[in-house]
């Protein structure tokens, strides 16, 4: 499976429109940087995910897979991979594969989470969920196929990614997606409906369910280079902080935003009596906590060995302040 050509130009330093500047600095335009990299990711996903011309899947499965992945989503996890890779001057070819693999794992998890046996949701990314559009059996198979394809992308049969990097990234992604990460957190979430959780229990649930995949996005990007120990630890701390901050903000937006803005059903957590940071801390304290986590994330990027952190800083700022 040959990799598509990667053409990710350096971010332009043109002045950003008003309201689009970030704490990363006045000369960094996140919208330009992100648009360039999203284009590279979208092109690769369109080619790699059950392309009817080159990689067809049987019995309509490819259509369901592509529906779940393409033409939707902010691609936050791929952007984190690519930003971390730039921070350590790593391989863009390896990073693009890692970025797409992360997005496939994320997409598969959404397909399964939305099903009636889990969260039973009918809206995702502003359109009907996969099981509503294709039926439950096809949705289940599409999620399974996307998960498998993620690991296929990380193990190309050419020389674009070294065997050692392939093995390392496969292990990192498997741990973050499995019972030590996302799947384990989802199990806790389902078992906690209608039950009060302590702060420690809520943090552990979201460290696994949401934070693990965001943190590993940063770490897999770093694995595409050769960072020193201090840089690795700094990026790990950054990923942990933004992973938790993302969930705190998600809980806040579930209360204050509408379904059209979110692209998914608003108010779902309260309706299902799920424990959230807002239910535990209150709305204002949750918003303040998100800002504290942002400060922690930005502070971690001052470590030696990180060459270009502008994108990581801007992404953290955007992630925490979205919708506020």
| Residue 257: both structure tokens together | 């935003």
- Mean pLDDT, residues 178-196 taken together: 93
- Mean pLDDT, residues 237-256 taken together: 95
Indicate whether 218 pLDDT > 50.
yes
- Which of 18-32, 103-117, 204-218, 289-303 is predicted with the least confidence, judged by mean pLDDT? 18-32
Q: What is the pLDDT of residues 56-89, one digit of tens each?
A: 999 999 999 999 999 878 999 999 999 999 999 9
DSSP 158: S
- Which of 7-11, 34-38, 168-172, 243-247 is predicted with the least confidence, judged by mean pLDDT? 7-11
What pTM value is reported for the model? Answer: 0.88
The H-assigned helical ranges of the chain are 30-48, 61-69, 76-87, 92-113, 130-134, 136-153, 163-177, 182-191, 199-206, 212-223, 229-256, 259-262, 268-271, 277-281, 283-300, 310-321
pLDDT value at residue 125 = 86
DSSP 124: E
CATH 1.10.600.10 fits 30-321, yes or no: yes
134-160: buried (b, 16+ CB within 10 Å) or exposed (e) per residue?
beeebbbbbbebbbebbbebbebeeeb
pLDDT value at residue 303 = 83
Asked if 249 and 290 count as a contact pair (C-beta separation under 8 A), the reply is yes
pLDDT value at residue 18 = 30
Indicate whether 186 pLDDT > 80.
yes
| Residue 106: both structure tokens together | 């994320």
* Strand 127-128, strand 123-124: pairing: antiparallel
């Amino acid at each position: 499976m040959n990799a598509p050509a990667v053409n990710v130009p350096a971010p332009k330093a043109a002045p950003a429109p008003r309201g689009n500047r970030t704490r990363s600095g006045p000369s960094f335009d996140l919208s330009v940087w992100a648009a360039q990299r999203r284009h590279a990711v979208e092109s690769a996903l369109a080619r790699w995910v059950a392309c009817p011309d080159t990689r067809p899947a049987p019995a309509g499965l490819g259509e369901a897979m592509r529906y779940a992945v393409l033409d939707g989503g902010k691609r936050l996890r791929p952007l984190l991979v690519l930003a971390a890779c730039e921070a350590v001057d790593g391989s863009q070819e390896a990073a693009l594969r890692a970025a797409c693999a992360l997005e496939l794992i994320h997409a598969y998890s959404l397909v399964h989470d939305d099903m009636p046996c889990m969260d039973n949701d009918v809206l995702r990314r502003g359109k009907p969920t996969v099981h509503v559009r294709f039926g439950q059996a096809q949705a289940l198979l599409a999620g399974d196929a996307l998960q498998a394809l993620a690991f296929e992308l990380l193990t190309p049969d050419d020389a674009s990614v070294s065997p050692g990097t392939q093995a390392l990234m496969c292990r990192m992604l498997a741990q973050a997606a499995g019972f030590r990460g996302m799947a384990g957190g989802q199990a806790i979430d389902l078992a906690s409906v209608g039950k009060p959780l302590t702060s420690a229990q809520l943090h552990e649930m979201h460290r696994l369910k949401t934070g693990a995949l965001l943190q590993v996005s940063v770490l897999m990007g770093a694995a595409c280079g050769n960072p020193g120990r201090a840089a690795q630890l700094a990026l790990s701390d950054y990923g942990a902080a933004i992973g938790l901050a993302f969930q705190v903000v998600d809980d806040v937006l579930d209360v204050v935003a509408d379904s059209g803005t979110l692209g998914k059903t608003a108010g779902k957590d309260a309706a299902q009596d799920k424990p959230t940071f807002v239910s535990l801390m209150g709305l204002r304290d949750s918003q303040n906590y998100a800002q504290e986590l942002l400060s922690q994330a930005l502070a971690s990027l001052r470590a030696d060995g990180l060459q270009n952190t502008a994108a990581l800083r801007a992404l953290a700022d955007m992630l925490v302040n979205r919708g506020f």
